[in-house]
Structure formats: structure tokens, C-alpha cells
Amino acid sequence: MNIMAIVLAAGQGKRMKSKLYKVLHPVCGKPMVGHVVETLQKINTSRTLVVVGYGAEAVQTYLGNQVEYATQEQQLGTGHAVLQAQAALGQEDGITIVICGDTPLITEQTLLKMIELHQHSAAAATVLTANLDQPQGYGRIIRDGSSGLVNKIVEQKDCTEEEALVTEINTGTYCFSNKQLFEALSLITNNNVQNEYYLTDVISILANQGETIQASCMEDVSESIGVNDRIALAEAERLLKERINRHHMLNGVTIIDPNHTYIETDVQIGMDTVLLPGTILKGHTQVGANCILGPNTEITDSTIKDEVVIKQSVLQEAYVDSYTSVGPFAYLRPGSKLGQNVKIGDFVEIKNATLDDGAKVSHLSYVGDAVVGKNVNFGCGAITVNYDGYNKSLTEIGDDAFVGSNVNLIAPVKIGQGAYVVAGSTITHNVDDNDLAVARERQTNKPGYADKIRASAQLKKKNGIS
């Protein structure tokens, strides 16, 4: 069977009160229309066409060439939006799913169930519906008393008091026989409270022609949410977060407090990893098995291998190999690449730097634009000085070197294997393998001089000299 899809994404989303076009608002890190297109890809539609209008360019830039587009110049309603697809799809045989770009939680299984019912019952249209305790704002499904089939859909604003009591709602997703859809669309008018061309009127037109209109009522009502304002956006976020967390827990991830753990849709997590409260995993982050992450840790687009511990830290585009520990309070910026058994301690920042196995940067350091060998020890407060105001330069440190506390390594500079840089040194020249480098003023002590300084200071104060 040829299955096509039309995604409605041309609306402005006035109720969002936003400069960002509605369907680009993210839910768990992914724009709503991205969720919808991804779900359609899972059911293998032969063609997917997105109707764009408001913010067309932004939507097209985001979705790229994985879908086709039709433009709706003026937003005259959902029926008018579907009509814009007629030039591209009107001649096709098969069935067409119409889905709104603002219903990000609908799943592949639910769509497949609707398609199956549609095909089985030889319906001209099948509406995906849900039974809601609070149906306000949604179109109501009006069924025929005897057959139970759908007679029409009435928008909230056009409802009679009696119709408003109906709790079965239109989710805005439908399955149509493609040619019948476009034939019926040519008959709709904008004779309603909003003066819009409603797609929902296609249902009564087809029903009046004696066609069968089915309703596929979804089991999990949380899928039905249509996001029209920020309140619904937060609700969608909560519902999808719950779904994602449940998925990971069923796969063997321990989540201590699922209400305070935020995992975006494309994140992968290995078995027996424990997520402590306040853990936020974003983008294409991959986490291995047996890790402990959190509390209060934000990891974006990073790869974490197995048995890694990360406490109260922020990681962005970082790579952390197995058995390594990070934090508390560390910041791994893009290009941080940590080997196995590395230790990154408190208040350490790493940027565009590779630290080989066993390296330790335990406290208060900045390592940027550096290649650090195996088992190198960075003393407390030691830093790379990588930027002169114009250029970034590289620091290279050989295996087993020791960098003392509060050392400044002024790049470009190389510290040889096994070399020893004495605490407090400011290093401007390369250090050869196994050499010791001291670069600081030799200490002199002046006996009793502290008393002299105090006496002189008191005298000045007494005479009013500042």
C-alpha cells in the first residue's frame, strides 16, 4: 500500500507568544516538527510533504531535504493548508496521513493502528481520537448514535452546549483515501466562527456522501497533546520526559529521581549506569555501562565510555574513556578528550585538549589546546597559557612528566617525557626529556624585617601620611 503523509506546519502559533515559529519549539531537545517527521519515517511513508508558511525558511533549514515542501502563503485554515499539497500529491493512489506539526508525542504504533483500522474497514477517512477528561480546546468527535461511525468534527468554538460535553477529541491526525481527500477539500467553505477553511469539514462532507468514517481511539491519551501555548509545551515536555526515562529504566538504567532527570530523545545509555538527580543529558550524547552521573550534571553531545564517574560537572562535545572520573565542578569544553583512568578534579577546565591514560589534573587548573601524555600530573593551579590575545598555541607534555603547582606553561611549548617542572614556574622554553625546569625568582629571607615594616606603617598612620 502506498502511504503518504502531509504535515501541517504553516501556522504562526500566535498563542505561543514567541518569535520562534511554533513547530520549531523543542520538546526534550527536538523541535516538535522533527518529532513528527521522525515518527513518519519510522512507518516508511513513500512521500512526506510538509506544508510551510510562517517561518518557512527556518522550518526548511531545520528539516532539510528529508521531506518535500508545499507553501501556504496565507494561513486560511488547516483545510486550506492541505490543499497546498494537491499539486504534488493529488494524482497519487493510496492513503494519506495528515498530521499536525504541533502534536509531537504521537507514536509509530498509534499511527500503524490507525492505518490498519482504516484499511480493514474500507473507510474513506479515519480520525485518530482520544478520550480526554478535559477536552477543552480540541475539536469534538460527533458519532452516529446507531452505527458508532463518525458523522462530523466540531471545533470547540463552533460547539453547541451539548457537543461541548463530548469528551472524545480530534487529535488532528487522520488517514484518508488520497483522491477522496482532495475531492472533498474542493467543497469546504470558511463558513464558521473563525472564518477558516477547516480540514475537519472534510469528515462531514465524506460522511454525507455515505462514506465510512472511522475513529481510531488511542490508548495512551498522553500522545494526543497538541501544543498551542507554553502551558501545553511544558506538559508535552513532562510527558515525553516520562516516556524517555521509562524507556531507559526498562533498558537497565537506574534513575534515582526520574522527576529531576532530563534526557533528550537521541541520547543512548548503557546498562547499570546510575543517574543521580539533576542529570541532564542532551543532543547525541552516548553513555556506556556502569557509569555514575550526577548529581547536577549537564552533558551535551559527548561520548562517555564504561565505568565513568562524573559529579556536578558540565561537558560539551567531550570524549571520556573508561574508568575515568570527572568533577566535582569540572568543565569539559569542546574537543576535550580524556583517556582511561584519567582524573579530572574540582574547578578544572579542559578545552580542545587530549589527556592520555592515567593523567591527573586534580584541582584548579586550565588545560586548553594541549596534548598531555600518559600519567602526567598537573599540580594544583597549574595552567596552560594558550592565548596571547591573537593566536591560540599548543602545549605538548610527554608521558610521565610532572607539572608542579601553579605553573604557567606559556604556549607554544613542549615539556619532554618524564620532565619535572618546579612549582610556581612560568615556562617559556621547551624542557627536554627527564630535565628539571625551574623558572622563578630565588627566595631570599630578611631576618626580622616584618617587624620593621609594621613599625614604619604605624608611624606613617600616626602622622597622617598615606
Active site (catalytic) residues: 363
Preceding omega of 328 cis (within 30 degrees of 0): yes
Q: How far is the CB of 29 from ligand UD1 (least distance, A)?
A: 19
Question: Which residue's CB is nearer to Ca ion, number 127 or number 372?
Answer: 127
* Residue in 402, 331, 404, 408 with CA at minimum distance from that of residue 372: 402
Which of 148, 136, 101, 131 has its CA nearest to residue 218? 131
Q: Choose the contact partner of 67 out of ligand UD1, Ca ion, none; CB within 5 to 8 A by kind.
A: none
Residue 397 binds: one of ligand UD1, Ca ion, none (C-beta under 5 to 8 A by kind)? none
Q: How many CA atoms lie within 13 A of 252 on its CB side?
A: 11
The least CB distance from residue 245 to Ca ion, in Å, is 26
User: What is d(CA 12, CA 261) in angstroms, rounded to the nearest whole number?
Assistant: 32
Show the site string, 225-264: x = touches ligand UD1 by CB under 6 A, - = not. Answer: -x-x------------------------------------
Q: Closer CB to ligand UD1, residue 176 or residue 198?
A: 198
Which residue number, 140 or 343, has a Cβ lying nearer to ligand UD1? Answer: 140
In the list 104, 172, 294, 327, the residue contacting ligand UD1 (rule: CB under 6 A) is 172
Q: Is residue 356 a contact point for Ca ion (CB under 5 A)?
A: no
Decide: is 10 part of the binding site for ligand UD1 (CB under 6 A): yes
Task: Report the nearest approach of ligand UD1 to the CB of residue 10 (Å).
Answer: 3
Q: Give the C-alpha separation, 94 to 102, whole Å.
A: 25
Tell me the window of 8-16, 40-48, 119-127, 322-330 that interacts with ligand UD1 (CB under 6 A).
8-16
Given 177, 200, 216, 425, the residue binding ligand UD1 (CB under 6 A):
200
Contact (CB, 8 A) for 176 and 98: yes
Residue 265 binds which entry of Ca ion, ligand UD1, none, CB below 5-8 Å type-dependent: none
Nearest approach, Cβ of residue 109 and ligand UD1 (Å): 19
* Part of the chain binding Ca ion (CB under 5 A), chosen from 95-103, 115-123, 132-140, 243-251: 95-103
Question: Where in 54-83 is the site for ligand UD1 (CB under 6 A)?
Answer: 72, 75-78, 80-81
Name which position in 24, 63, 100, 310 contacts ligand UD1 (CB under 6 A).
100
Residue with cell 500529491: 89
Which helix (DSSP H) or strand (DSSP E) does residue 236 occupy?
A: helix 230-250
Q: What is the 3-state secondary structure (H, E, C) of 251-299?
A: CCCEECCHHHEEECCCCEECCCCEECCCEEEECCCEECCCCEECCCEEE
Q: At closest approach, how far in Å is the CB of 66 from ligand UD1?
A: 18
CA gap 404, 262 in Å, rounded: 39
CB 411 within 8 A of CB 428: no
Which of 53, 55, 139, 226 is in the footprint of Ca ion by CB under 5 A? 226
CA-only gyration radius of the chain, Å: 32
For residue 337, what are the CA distances in angstroms to 181, 319, 438? 55, 5, 29
Phi-psi region of 453 (alpha: psi -120 to 50; beta: other; left: phi over 0): alpha
Among Ca ion, ligand UD1, none, the one that 51 touches (CB under a kind-dependent 5 to 8 A) is ligand UD1
Q: Which residue has the cell 566535582?
A: 328
Touching ligand UD1, residues 272-311 (CB under 6 A) = none
Alpha carbon separation from 366 to 106, 343, 384, 395, 406 (Å, rounded): 46, 14, 6, 12, 11
Does 102 engage in binding with Ca ion (CB under 5 A)? yes
Binding flag, residue 196, Ca ion (CB under 5 A): no
For the chain, helix, strand, coil in percent to 5 are 25, 30, 45
137 grid coordinates: 480546546
Q: Given the rule CB under 6 A, which of 100-108, 181-189, 339-347, 350-358 is the region that contacts ligand UD1?
A: 100-108
Nearer to Ca ion, 12 or 251 (CB): 12
- 419 is a contact residue toward ligand UD1 (CB under 6 A): no
What is the rounded CA–CA span in Å between residue 464 and residue 368? 49
CB of 74 to ligand UD1, least distance (A): 8
Task: State the DSSP string of 96-156.
Answer: EEEEETT-TT--HHHHHHHHHHHHHTT-SEEEEEEE-S--TTSPEEEE-TTT--EEEEE-G
By C-beta, is 132 or 371 nearer to ligand UD1?
132
Span from 26-34, 96-104, 118-126, 201-209 in contact with Ca ion (CB under 5 A)? 96-104
Q: What minimum distance in Å lies between the beta carbon of 311 and ligand UD1? A: 42
- Which of 228/312 has CB closer to Ca ion? 228
Q: Rounded to 5 degrees, what are φ and ψ at 97?
A: -90, 130
Residues 109-168 that bind ligand UD1 (CB under 6 A): 138-139, 153, 155
**Interface with ligand UD1 (CB under 6 A):** 8-11, 23, 51, 53, 72, 75-78, 80-81, 100-103, 138-139, 153, 155, 169-172, 198-200, 226, 228
**Interface with Ca ion (CB under 5 A):** 102, 226, 228
